[in-house]
Amino acid sequence: MKDMWSINSKGKVYGFVTTGEDWRMLSYDGTRFEMTEKFLVLSTAKPREQQAKEVSVLVDCIIAALRSGGIK
């Protein structure tokens, strides 16, 4: 994240850390890191179309979090 911060005009940068089930959102502003509480994302064996729909919900959540300023 420090490298990304340096390359991207030194603005605030965001990232995610995941084990596949547990997720955390991170931010770095050049001086400090911030991290959300972990949140759980589960998917069970389902038809491909249903899995794609569920994954799109996760992507929508990530986009909404980033658009709203990420970590407060």
Write the pLDDT tens digit of every residue in 37-66: 887 776 666 777 777 776 777 777 777 777
pTM value is: 0.56
Range of the domain at 20: 2-67
Nearest to 1 by CA among 23, 10, 24, 60: 10
Between 26 and 72, the higher pLDDT residue = 26
Look at residue 70 in the predicted model and tell me its pLDDT.
Answer: 60
Residue 72 counted as domain residue = no
Residue 40 covered by a domain: yes
Position 69 scores a pLDDT of: 67
d(C-alpha 48, C-alpha 26), whole Å: 30
Domain annotation covers residue 13: yes
In a domain, residue 6? The reply is: yes
Query: What's the CA gap between 44 and 69, in Å, rounded?
Result: 31
Would you say residue 34 lies in a domain? yes
How many domains does the chain fold into? 1
